Structure 1
Amino acid sequence: MFPSTSENVAWLIKEQAAVQPRAAAIYFPETRDRFGRVAYTHLTFQQLQERSDFFAWGMRNLGVCAGQKALLMIRPSLDFYTLLFAIFKIGAIPVLIDPGMGWGNFLRCVQSIEPEVFLGIPAAHVLRLLTRRYFRSVKINITQGNIRFWGGRTLTELHGKSEPYPIHAASPDDLAAVLFTSGSTGPAKGVSYTHRIFNTQVNLIRREYGIKPGEMDLACFPLFSLFSIALGAAAVIPDMDPSKPALVNPERILEPLRNLPVTYSFGSPALWDHVSRYACEKQLRLPGLRRIIMAGAPVPAQVHERLLHQLLEPGAETYTPYGATESLPIANFSGSEMLAETKEASLAGKGTCVGKPIAEVQSKIIAITDEPIASMQDARELDDGQIGELCVSGTCVTTEYYNNPKATRLAKIADGDKIWHRVGDVGYFDAKGRFWFCGRKTHRVEMQSDAGTQTLFSIPCEAIFNQIPGVRRSALVGIGKRPSQIPAIIIETEKNHRLTTEKILEVAAANPLTAAIRHAFFHPAFPVDVRHNAKINREELARWATEKC
């Protein structure tokens, strides 16, 4: 049913509407009754198809056309998904930026992308009015809501048509969307997604996780739910703030599991750590869930153990897909395999195993450098077991950052007609071809010793401290500049636990991996990324530690 003349991802929804028109595509918690019980509203695949057609006609009548960039500032809702697919149908380019990165960073991203179309909630339009110079490129404004003293149209004022919209014929390598990185490990960058990459990802996710029509996704990370809908599964939007998964009310996650036949969920490790602790304390179970997929940061072994051994039904599985906004997925690893084969090595400071790269991804480990690499011939490839920088290439790997040639030069390596992406992670391959993640390249600590320059990597070192009773998490930071940094370990304790600096340094001295660490600090609550609330902001902690010295 997918036409051979176009690879526009909007055809995926049209196909599902033809195959299962009355099946639910999206559930949204619209309101609550006087007893606090949630009331869902939903769209079937046919309704999603028809409503996105209507919006597409309406936006085209306003002047929205193929090739224009459309910035969305709309919370997860029925309208969010409908508008997104309407934009694809027109051939316009949706732009998604996480506002949780801070308004200064957000506005710089807007200015760099120069959107012609702006779709937002009223508060987003107020921001646009207050910071006009960042939105000078915007010509068409659409508001989700009834207030619009700033001009433009509301969604209810769009003059659409109740007839099929002729989906824009897209070539495989046409720009489909611009998705910004979270900015948690460096400046946020707009990643150029083509229709080929989107369609490849849909097929890979179908294969890796066995997602099929009739399933139901508890969508704790909104972007992943787009793949669920494209694969014919229903997306259930939980009653939560998607920008603060670590602070979610666990009952708001357990509630859809009781109300609806949810079969899988994608969410942050921080969310499932929080929810699994709560469920274990309350002696609850997670009925019906067959798969929990966690990504965004390394997943602690105890989270897999709680889910697999205490909360999920027999035969269920946890997964930790490994990748980045620029390249997803790179590898996939199950929680049961991790607990059986790699847990002990991780605890001993060998890094976190994320599995073997999938067949569609080629990978290399090269010597670490912070400089651009023009050609793969200029890189030095390392042997198995040697820690270096991971590079990947393949049909699910993006080739550029939008309107950002400097970032593209730093992250991409030419190799004939192939482009390699420098993931920014360091680690090594073992004898089985599995990648062991040892941290971000920017988080390595370089110090001088009698033997010359010594490099410490965050994940192996932190594993030693994370096993101390009372430690919730730890962060290795470098004080000063490479290659003459002073390594320090920062500790966040569990609630109501007290530890001493002497205890931390005693553990450090007893292990060859951490013996060079002679400074320890306690921090009340680590700063984390805005998207998954799981990546520790070591840059901010390093600045904090520098002030303490």
Structure 2
Amino acid sequence: MLNPNWLGRLAAYHPDRPALWFRNTWLTYGELYLRARKAAGALRALGVAKGDRVGLIAWNHPAYLDLLFAGPLLGHILTPFNHRLSLPELQALHAYTEPKVLFYGEGFQEVARALDPKALPLEALLEGEEAPEEVRVDLEDPALLLFTGGTTGLPKGALLPYRQLLVNAVQTAFSWGLSREDRYILATPMFHAALNALATPLLYLGSQVVVEERFHAEEYLELVRLHRPTLLFLVPTMYQMLLEAQAFAETDLSSVRFAISGGAPCPAPVREAFRERGVRFKQGYGLTECGVNCFTFELEEAERYPESVGRPMPHLWARLVREDGKEAGVGEAGELWLSGSVVMKGYFRRPEENEKVFVWDGERLWLRTGDLAHRDEGGRFYIVGRRKEMFISGGENVYPVEVERALYDHPAVKEAAVVGVPDPRWGEVGAAFVVLREPLAAEALRAFLKARLAGYKVPKHLIFLEELPKTGPGKVQKEALKRLWEEQHGQA
């Protein structure tokens, strides 16, 4: 059986090897495990037992890993909160998950005490006696409770078991060609998928992770200069911010083996700008409920098919299902269903939601992702958008991602998002919300799109904004854009 407490083994194998860098200090594997044992001891003294949720609200910090690696020794469930949410939103999530104890980082005392008057600072995690090394969990016990994107309504809490984290770490390391010599800067929010996207796979190998407390493009580039990372893993917005940073042109990127973009399709101009600096690119795909890394690609093939996310990981099965329940053919869009050992246990206290996303088919349990995709003759998958985001204009299906890619091809477009809005003639039409780098007339942009897209795909409405609303992980909040449209034009 796989060992949920694998950090303990690594601490015995190479206790003095650097593991985690934070605030100008390296923590070794031995020190990282000692922190986990102290955290487990502190939680036990607070009455935390197996199955209890332990809340955390903080910027990126080693405490996320302290609590994650303490889990096998106590059995609690790490429940990180999105610090970018409003107090009412956080109160709703706190009431939903009922953490036994809540910890907070610098700058979050006020909001944490508003959620729980007994909330404790992160320093309290290291004040306890070391817990015994006895493993108190099995592979099906939940290690993490991560909230889904939640662009509308109360986010759901996905329960991620140790089985999922371990298999994801192993097959990510194997399929992405990671090694013990790799190093990466963790800059995406640790309250979301950053923990199991690349940090735990690299730590599983004995590699090194550099933690950036809060993402700033100039600081990130300075960390690149200091630590010479071999991998980059960011969302498209972050890559765009690096391009715009003053230091980008002078930063030596020669140590980078490849960059991975996740969270949303990375615009072609961004990929090209990094390629000109010698950085090779892969497009990633994953979701909180599965993986989080679901597909893989050889680097050379990824460069030949830059819009594809590749093929399913070795221990993951994928199928595309049409609206009528039949399998989608080559080049035909269908909902992406996934099955395998990296699928979540289910949503916390949401049995009705579990019934919506889980489907038994023969002997296999499938997760309905809600994402639409198609595959080519070579078995490569392409994500075309969320099922709920697709709209029908004059009887034709329109996939916003396809339109957004065309928008990003224009050099004046910095960011773009497309949603379907009501139209008396066509039923629905596209509304494109665009952030520009430089002045551009709407008609000039529309003419640009007409040369690249079928007429029904060209957005009828072009709305220019200073910025697009985003969730904590950097995804565009399309529901907020729809509300903006309704406020300005009235609801259908």
Q: TM-score, normalised by structure 1?
A: 0.80
Paired letter, 2:315: E
Deviations 1:16-59 (A, max 9, x none): 11111111111112xxxxxxxxxx12211111112221222232
Pairing 1:13–2:7 present: yes
Pairing 1:54–2:9 present: no
Match of 1:318 in 2: 281
Deviations 1:104-154 (A, max 9, x none): 33322222112212222365453344346xx9xxxx743225xxxxxxxx3
Cα 1:531–1:332, aligned 2, differ >3 Å: closer, same or farther?
farther
Pairing 1:458–2:454 present: no
Secondary structure, counterpart of 2:102 in structure 1: strand
- Deviation of 1:381 after TM superposition, in Å, equals 2.2
Distance 1:290 1:487 in 2: 42
Name the stretch that deviates more: 384-393 or 104-113. 104-113
Distance 1:167 1:311 in 2: 47
Match of 2:318 in 1: 363
Match of 2:355 in 1: 409
Match of 2:431 in 1: 489
Distance 2:209 2:302 in 1: 28
Secondary structure, counterpart of 1:480 in structure 2: strand
2:214 to 234, 240, 243: 240
Match of 2:413 in 1: 471
Cα 1:267–1:334, aligned 2, differ >3 Å: closer, same or farther?
farther
Distance 1:18 1:103 in 2: 42
Match of 2:295 in 1: 331
Match of 1:513 in 2: 454
Cα 1:46–1:511, aligned 2, differ >3 Å: closer, same or farther?
closer
Distance 2:289 2:43 in 1: 29
Cα 1:468–1:127, aligned 2, differ >3 Å: closer, same or farther?
closer
Distance 1:481 1:130 in 2: 44
- Deviation of 1:215 after TM superposition, in Å, equals 3.0
CA contact (8 A) 1:197 1:395 kept: yes
Match of 2:19 in 1: 25
Match of 1:499 in 2: 441
Cα 1:408–1:101, aligned 2, differ >3 Å: closer, same or farther?
farther
Cα 1:338–1:486, aligned 2, differ >3 Å: closer, same or farther?
same
Distance 2:368 2:298 in 1: 25
Secondary structure, counterpart of 1:443 in structure 2: coil
2:267 to 293, 297, 300: 300
Secondary structure, counterpart of 1:229 in structure 2: helix
Cα 1:469–1:514, aligned 2, differ >3 Å: closer, same or farther?
farther
Paired letter, 1:521: L
Pairing 1:71–2:44 present: no
CA contact (8 A) 1:25 1:44 kept: yes
2:464 to 518, 523, 542: 523
CA contact (8 A) 2:159 2:344 kept: yes
Cα 1:131–1:60, aligned 2, differ >3 Å: closer, same or farther?
closer
- Larger radius of gyration, structure 1 or 2? 1
CA contact (8 A) 1:7 1:195 kept: no
Distance 1:481 1:92 in 2: 51
1:196 to 152, 159, 163: 163
Cα 1:228–1:361, aligned 2, differ >3 Å: closer, same or farther?
same
Name the stretch that deviates more: 69-78 or 80-89. 80-89
Query: What pairs up with 1:72-87 in 2 under 5 angstroms?
Result: 72-87=56-71
Structure 2: 5+ residue stretches without partners? none
Name the stretch that deviates more: 411-420 or 437-446. 411-420
Distance 1:306 1:97 in 2: 34
Distance 2:456 2:325 in 1: 31
Pairing 1:229–2:218 present: no
Cα 1:186–1:229, aligned 2, differ >3 Å: closer, same or farther?
farther
Distance 1:422 1:65 in 2: 33
Cα 1:327–1:291, aligned 2, differ >3 Å: closer, same or farther?
same
CA contact (8 A) 1:95 1:179 kept: yes
Cα 1:335–1:278, aligned 2, differ >3 Å: closer, same or farther?
farther
2:326 to 363, 366, 380: 380
Paired letter, 2:401: I
Deviations 1:217-270 (A, max 9, x none): 2112342323322331121112524xxxxxx2x221121222224322322222
CA contact (8 A) 1:509 1:517 kept: yes
Query: What pairs up with 1:69-108 in 2 under 5 angstroms?
Result: 69-108=53-92
Runs (4+) off by over 6 Å: 481-484
Match of 1:395 in 2: 341
Match of 1:111 in 2: 95
Distance 2:132 2:150 in 1: 36
- Deviation of 1:510 after TM superposition, in Å, equals 5.1
CA contact (8 A) 1:280 1:311 kept: no
Secondary structure, counterpart of 1:322 in structure 2: coil
Secondary structure, counterpart of 1:217 in structure 2: strand
Aligned length: 481
1:425 to 371, 375, 393: 371
Distance 1:358 1:103 in 2: 38
CA contact (8 A) 1:388 1:427 kept: yes
Match of 1:546 in 2: 486
CA contact (8 A) 1:61 1:159 kept: yes
- Deviation of 1:483 after TM superposition, in Å, equals 12
Paired letter, 2:470: D
Secondary structure, counterpart of 1:353 in structure 2: coil
Query: What pairs up with 1:141-290 in 2 under 5 angstroms?
Result: 141-144=119-122, 154-155=124-125, 158-161=127-130, 165-184=132-151, 187-221=154-188, 222=190, 223=195, 224-241=198-215, 248=216, 250-278=217-245, 282-290=249-257
Distance 1:186 1:379 in 2: 28
Cα 1:523–1:85, aligned 2, differ >3 Å: closer, same or farther?
same
Cα 1:194–1:18, aligned 2, differ >3 Å: closer, same or farther?
same
Paired letter, 1:362: W
- Deviation of 1:440 after TM superposition, in Å, equals 1.1
